[in-house]
Amino acid sequence: MEFKLISIAALVAFYGCYFIKMFRQKKQGIQTDQIGKGKAGFVKFVEVTMKAVAVLAFAAGLVSIFIGISHSPAAVRVIGAVMSVAGTIVFIAAVRTMRDSWRAGVSKTDKTELITNGIYQISRNPAFLGFDLLYIGTLLMFFNWILCVLTVFAVIMYHLQIVSVEEEFLLAAFGNEYLQYKKKVCRYIGRKR
């Protein structure tokens, strides 16, 4: 029962942050959801597929939580709970640090700033890291093969979004400033020497 409560609390906090931020930005005239909008080819494919698999992984996670069956040992479930909570904290810190520069997907028309402070000093992609930790944590707590396949697919699509869409966009938008930042901070976690 405690794993269900931890999972539900993590999901509510995580997606509560996501949708509250989206609603607040909408009130300011900012279109937060840029996934697949104004894009073509591989970039559109990556963004739309990423969004679809994220929804499917979320749904499979919810079903898994409410069914409550897990083939994971207790120690693995505890690690999953810690990862889910950590992912939620990391995501909320990322969204708060980004302020009004936060978008879901990239927007070539919106003028944003390159954020390198706060949690972005130890991760270039803390929001994606948060998603990964939340989804993998849920998987570890409520392991089943459908959730496993969808979680792995979601993590792969998030990675493709970073390396094939986000990094190219940031390089084009911020040039040398982004290159210097990239030299100092790792893609997921850690600082470089």
CB 35 within 8 A of CB 51: yes
Q: Would you identify the CATH topology of the domain 2-25+35-101+112-184?
A: Four Helix Bundle (Hemerythrin (Met), subunit A) (1.20.120)
CB 72 within 8 A of CB 143: yes
pLDDT at position 31 is 74
CB 127 within 8 A of CB 166: no
CB 138 within 8 A of CB 81: no
Q: Which residues are registered as beta bridge partners of 185? A: 191
Q: What is the pTM of this model?
A: 0.89
CB 109 within 8 A of CB 34: no
* pLDDT tens column, 63-95: 999 998 788 899 999 999 999 999 999 999 999
pLDDT at position 28 is 78
| Percentage of residues of the chain with pLDDT beyond 70 | 93
**Cα angle 174-86-147, degrees, rounded to a multiple of 5:** 95
pLDDT band at 172 (very low <50, low <70, confident <90, very high): confident
* pLDDT tens column, 28-41: 787 766 677 777 88
More confident residue, 159 or 31: 159
Which tokens go with 79? Answer: 């690690």
Distance CA 61, CA 57 (A): 6
Domain boundaries, the chain: 2-25+35-101+112-184
